[in-house]
Amino acid sequence: MERAEVLKRVIGILTEAQEIRRAAEAGEDDDRPDTEAGVINQLLNEMLPSISVPAESSPQEVARLVAEALGPALHAMVSGFSLAFTSLAMAHDAGRTDMSSVEVLQQLALEVEAGTYDGDS
């Protein structure tokens, strides 16, 4: 998965998490279906590779195959969350009261769409 696609999913996860928190603070937890958590799980699953392990694989081979498959995906995810955190932290540290955290994430999404972060993860 390309870096921009990972970043879009990370932004989606953080945006959904904001909505879950907003709903909880507004006391809307009990009245709402648990769809946001489902969306977050779906976005996470989309970033993780499918892993095929031959039935005759030894435990060491299974560990190697899993590590080889998950390593790059986890690196891309951590990089995406780090970029999103840095964007939010920079807005906070700059005293940006004119933008909410969701707006900072929206701006980051626009930058991703514009190709600012294209390239391999």
Question: DSSP string covering 12-64, please?
Answer: HHHHHHHHHHHHHHTT-GGGS-THHHHHHHHHHHHHSPP----TT--HHHHHH
Structure tokens at 113: 């769409």
| Residues contacting 47, CB < 8 A, separation 6+ | 1, 6, 9, 73, 76, 77
Range with the largest mean pLDDT of 4-13, 18-27, 30-39, 111-120 = 4-13
For the packed helices 3-25 and 101-113, what is the interaxial angle rounded to 10 degrees? 160
pLDDT tens column, 14-69: 999 988 888 888 887 655 556 667 889 999 999 999 999 999 999 999 999 999 99
The predicted model scores a pTM of 0.80
In tens, the pLDDT along 56-108 reads 999 999 999 999 999 999 999 999 999 999 999 999 999 999 999 999 999 99
Please, which pLDDT band fits residue 121 given cuts at 50, 70 and 90?
very low
Residue 5 tokens, joined? 């696609």
